[in-house]
Structure 1
């Protein structure tokens, strides 16, 4: 529906009661209430910023451990709190680039080579309302119509600033924008609180493992359950003594979206099961209690030597560049906790070239185990209880994110 030939209007599916009689939202190009920022840092002292996709603008010191601006700093754009910076680098979550609002600093400077920056008229647009749209990748739906495949300049997407500012945005009156912003910000606070709890639990588990496993050069742990105080020293062992080894097999030609079996490849393990492929032809079937380990990764990668423990039979098949470790006598779950991203195996990553763990590398992995299976099980159960708490919070986080996504689909009208 339109008011006139130049102004389009829309109505959201869900609206707060106090605004139900406020009429339709207008659809306007961003440029109507925004302007490009072209001020350069020159020799003035601002905090050099970078961006972390999905997080926002952070200091280069926080992201890289140092400032990387160098001689280019004088050409950096200067932005103020609540200004926006469009990063033209594609990521998995934001393939058309990421727009972030400056929240945590009063002023800062961003690289002019990969950022387009703009400010909005706060009498017409609440910046945090607009930020909610961008966090949901609203801009991506607009920009993807103008990005040619392979269209890049100096590693960044080639997007003209005019196209960015021509983006059409749905705009209610300022008071309704504030209400929507407040509602979604409350959800963001809940999401942040749960995410923080997850990180706290992970740190707790890390500290607990340091207490439950012997430190370097020690043969007994700092903490031991009372019933095992006199159980003696832990034994030195290798994976070769504790498991049977088998390399995974290629499944690439047998992938089937409706397949019965999950193909456990490095992506499945590195994403904790979020990226999944299926097949009906299992070439290397895994059984309950098997430990599957990633053998290959890029320099400084986070997947090398990461493990997945199989929770049931006839569900998983092992892909190439992943190995299957079948425990002989030791408690499988404790083996998993002992070797997952084990420092012995991480040392094969030199930070320069691709890491490819060989069979002997894996089987020569040194570690310590309690002598008695009962103590092995006790430690495994203790750590599993923490993992279960973490899983509950992760599920809660996913539910909150899904709720917010669904709410946004109702609060913001579709215009494209």
Structure 2
């Protein structure tokens, strides 16, 4: 950093500071270095036990404790809990080095494990709530946190107040906050759209597959309304499970993709972070699979991990490579059958109760299911795969918005090395 950006405690607001790469055209005044202690005071209001209890969530921010889906671990004595009001910023004192902070939008109480920052005159707290999520400030929070190891690090207000940051005028704070908040609103709307599609898919699968005790599904496509009841069979009559391990150190397996349970997303069927056997360093307990197989994770069945790779590879011993035994069962239908709620409930009920629950081969093949004709199987699978494609497309739009916001954040906030020209 050049001498132009150096500052002292007595001249911190008089010295030109770092400026961002991207600015709105109406703003030209340099950002000034200010201490966070001059921007925020430490709100220490306790004893107001009649206010609602709030929680700080990673994505949602400050929400009513009952909406957090977390177990209520709060103390029955709320006398030491801290009051927050709209416009405050609350942060997790033990996790600020990870950026655990949020803008407050409602009045209530937070745990004494939080620090409550009250904005001073000329401070747009929504601007700073975005600013506090930038890598450069999170690094500052880490540096000023006290403790020997990560699990003991804490950033109390006294240390927080000593951190110096470049700060623009209030109108520019407001403009940046409005810009980023508009992107947040778009992201929230897109996330709701993705969640709605996932909820619709879950409902649709419950209608397209017969429930326990029923002989046909509640919803059938018009062309199959008079096709008769589905035929009951055990899964063992319909599938084959690969046996015979392969050596991942030998060609062609050493260069093949290697999939373990950790590479399959729960409930979605998507594969993530797939590496070759050589890259993983796997040496034993592997089975070959190809594009005719469905991969089903036998450990922790409640996670519902099923994948249908379109390539050849090897999978670890925590995966069952399953394929249809004959033409009476389609691979595409088998994929959704293993993802269905009825099979999920069965797998959970019939898992071995150990430290890590798992469903063994005998329990898997004993599962009884109702099967329609291959034509109806194809119709069901095509419907669900089309919905999956739509979910994927909308999820990609959400990810694009996240990437756009990240890029904006990098441009709208200064980073070390960027000085005023």
- What is the TM-score with the length of structure 2 in the denominator? 0.83
More displaced stretch, 200-209 vs 270-279: 270-279
Q: Give the conservation status (yes or no) of the 8 Å contact 2:255–2:277.
A: yes
Work out the CA distance in 2 between the residues paired with 1:250 and 1:205: 37
**Does residue 41 of structure 2 align to residue 35 of structure 1?**
yes
Displacement of 1:376: 0.4
Q: Give the conservation status (yes or no) of the 8 Å contact 1:248–1:320.
A: no
SS in 2 for 1:206: helix
Q: Give the conservation status (yes or no) of the 8 Å contact 2:88–2:104.
A: yes
Counterpart residue number, 2:314: 317
Work out the CA distance in 2 between the residues paired with 1:84 and 1:350: 47
Q: Give the conservation status (yes or no) of the 8 Å contact 1:294–1:323.
A: yes
SS in 2 for 1:10: coil
**Does residue 22 of structure 2 align to residue 14 of structure 1?**
yes
**Does residue 286 of structure 2 align to residue 286 of structure 1?**
no
More displaced stretch, 259-268 vs 324-333: 259-268
Displacement of 1:65: 7.3
Counterpart residue number, 2:131: 133
Work out the CA distance in 1 between the residues paired with 2:390 and 2:31: 44
Displacement of 1:350: 9.9
SS in 2 for 1:17: coil
Query: Residues 199-226 of structure 1: CA distance to partner in whole angstroms, max 9, x if unpaired?
Result: 1111211222222222332111222222
Q: Give the conservation status (yes or no) of the 8 Å contact 1:13–1:411.
A: yes
Counterpart residue number, 1:124: 122
Query: Residues 288-309 of structure 1: CA distance to partner in whole angstroms, max 9, x if unpaired?
Result: 1422222224xxx962x32111
More displaced stretch, 372-381 vs 202-211: 202-211
Displacement of 1:4: 5.7
Query: Residues 135-164 of structure 1: CA distance to partner in whole angstroms, max 9, x if unpaired?
Result: 4455422233346563435xxx43343333
Work out the CA distance in 1 between the residues paired with 2:212 and 2:58: 37
Counterpart residue number, 1:407: 408
Count of matched residue positions in the alignment of Structure 1 and Structure 2: 391
Higher RCO, 1 vs 2 (CA within 8 Å, ≥6 residues apart): 2
Query: Residues 27-57 of structure 1: CA distance to partner in whole angstroms, max 9, x if unpaired?
Result: 3221121111221135x31111122212212
Counterpart residue number, 1:336: 335
Which residues of structure 1 form unaligned runs of 5+? none
Equivalent residue in structure 2 for 1:327, among 312, 316, 324: 324
SS in 2 for 1:75: coil
Equivalent residue in structure 1 for 2:158, among 162, 167, 171: 162
- Residue 360 to residue 11, structure 1, CA distance change in 2 (3 Å): same
Query: Residues 149-198 of structure 1: CA distance to partner in whole angstroms, max 9, x if unpaired?
Result: 63435xxx433433333333331111111111111111111111111111
Counterpart residue number, 2:111: 111
SS in 1 for 2:323: strand
**Does residue 175 of structure 2 align to residue 179 of structure 1?**
yes
Query: Residues 45-75 of structure 1: CA distance to partner in whole angstroms, max 9, x if unpaired?
Result: 1111122212212222122477543424221
Work out the CA distance in 1 between the residues paired with 2:114 and 2:353: 29
Q: Give the conservation status (yes or no) of the 8 Å contact 1:248–1:324.
A: no
Work out the CA distance in 2 between the residues paired with 1:413 and 1:152: 30
Work out the CA distance in 2 between the residues paired with 1:165 and 1:242: 67
Which residues of structure 2 form unaligned runs of 5+? none
Work out the CA distance in 2 between the residues paired with 1:247 and 1:405: 47
Query: Residues 243-276 of structure 1: CA distance to partner in whole angstroms, max 9, x if unpaired?
Result: 222479899x98xxxx954432222213643444
- Residue 284 to residue 59, structure 1, CA distance change in 2 (3 Å): same
Displacement of 1:102: 1.4
**Does residue 192 of structure 2 align to residue 196 of structure 1?**
yes
- Residue 61 to residue 33, structure 1, CA distance change in 2 (3 Å): same
Equivalent residue in structure 1 for 2:369, among 367, 370, 377: 367
- What is the TM-score with the length of structure 1 in the denominator? 0.84
- Residue 348 to residue 270, structure 1, CA distance change in 2 (3 Å): farther
Q: Give the conservation status (yes or no) of the 8 Å contact 1:143–1:164.
A: yes
Work out the CA distance in 1 between the residues paired with 2:246 and 2:68: 37
Work out the CA distance in 2 between the residues paired with 1:147 and 1:288: 53
Work out the CA distance in 2 between the residues paired with 1:168 and 1:319: 51
